[in-house]
Amino acid sequence: MSNLPGFILRNCTLWADRVSKLGQIGDITVPVPTDKLEEMRNSGMIKPREVKMGLDKLEFSFKMPGLDPQVIKLFGLKPGVETPFMVTGALVDEDGTDHSGVLTIRGFIKTANGGTWQPGERSENDYAVAVHYYKLEIDGEELLEVDDFDIKVGGVSQYAGQRASMLL
């Protein structure tokens, strides 16, 4: 095992609605799973503590240097229609070992900002996605999987006990 830095993102691309946007993506902001916390202090406690109440909503965004008609047509779809997105990344260790990083996302484009159009200048378009499903894999190993009802860490459900308590 090497002590050199590893899993350094060297390159990535976005697949929007199963169509590759290789070379057309300027910036990708991946979903950030965040615990939803509430402060609680019961009788007899000398200090409050934070307790987990689930997760905050997930968001995903990306920027493109041009107006892509295929992506524009993913905005404003009727309720219930979700778009699949996949971000693939080349993670490379300093010893030369390659790793695959894959983000699988489902949701809908909630903003399609066409940016500022200025002659002779490159315009940039910003898209924000409401995320309903998110999975992170490295080298085919599932690290996180999040939907509206569960989070799996390393493939293990973190809410199976609660769901069983609710007879679901």
Do residues 86 and 104 touch, judged by C-beta distance below 8 A?
yes
* Whole-angstrom distance, CA of residue 148 vs CA of residue 151: 8
Q: What is the 3-state secondary structure (H, E, C) of the chain?
A: CCCCCCCEEEEEEEEECCEECCCCCCEEECCCCCEEEEEECCCCCCCCEEEEEEECCEEEEEEECCCCHHHHCCECCCCCCCEEEEEEEEEECCCCCEEEEEEEEEEEEEEEECCCCCCCCCCCEEEEEEEEEEEEEECCEEEEEECCCCEEECCEECCHHHHHHCCC
Structure tokens at 26: 């300027």
Task: Say what the pLDDT of residue 1 is.
Answer: 57
- Print pLDDT tens along the chain (168 aa): 578 999 999 999 999 998 898 888 889 999 999 999 999 999 999 999 999 999 999 999 999 988 899 999 999 999 999 999 999 999 999 999 999 999 999 999 999 999 888 899 888 999 999 999 999 999 999 999 999 999 999 999 999 999 999 988
Instruction: Check residue 81 and give its pLDDT.
Output: 96
The answer to whether 105 and 86 have CB atoms below 8 angstroms apart is yes
Q: Degrees (nearest 5) of the Cα angle 56, 60, 66?
A: 160
- Euclidean distance between CA atoms 86 and 102, whole angstroms: 7
